[in-house]
Amino acid sequence: MDKLRQYSREAGFTMVELLIVVAIILIIAAIAIPNLLRSKISANEAAAASTLKSIGTSNVLYASLYSQGFAGTLRHLGPEGGGCATISSACAGLIDSTLSGVTPPTATPVKSGYVFTYSSPSPAPTTTAPNSSYSIVATPAGPGSTGVSTFCMDGGNIYVIWRDTSGNTTTAGPGGCAPTWTPGGTVGSL
């Protein structure tokens, strides 16, 4: 009987040992989770800046193809669908359906944790009244959790993406990014 008690004692873990293991796992998790969240925010911010570059390139191509200046809406840069059966100035097929707001239908699409707001002088440009400017602002969908910085790009200089790290939701208008977009300076060029 003594051998049985001795064997059962040696075969298992004590409650103290189990609590120590759980405490170590919790400490490791407490260290790793904030780093994971910072990595996610950095990835979302890089994706937002890259998306703005893609929109800028697509807008230049749109202006070259259709002689109407820049697109009136993001939907004009997107694929066919939602009443647009073929590639045309109404749906040029230059950006994906999520970013263009075709699927799901929205004027302010969300991609990679950022909300994209597009502004142009005319939502329906023509060859006689082309859009000579535009702006696109990317703001975090969940400030502090999906991103920290706000980004802006406009038709005046498609090679510059402005970054505001203040945490404010800075906007822009049809004429371009406002002069207040200097806090973070440029973060990239095409």
What is the tens place of the pLDDT at every residue in 165-179? 876 666 788 888 877
Render the burial of 41-72: b for 16+ CB within 10 Å, e for the rest: beebbebbbebbbbbbebbeebbeebebbbbb
What is the tens place of the pLDDT at every residue in 62-74? 999 999 999 999 9
pLDDT at 139 over 80: yes
What is the tens place of the pLDDT at every residue in 10-55? 667 888 888 999 999 988 888 878 888 888 999 999 999 999 999 9
pLDDT at 45: 92
Distance of CA 30 to the CA centre of its chain: 27
Average pLDDT over residues 80-101: 85
C-beta separation of 70 from 121 below 8 A: no
C-beta separation of 101 from 109 below 8 A: yes
Q: What's the rounded Cα separation, in Å, for the pair 129 and 131?
A: 7
pLDDT at 2: 59
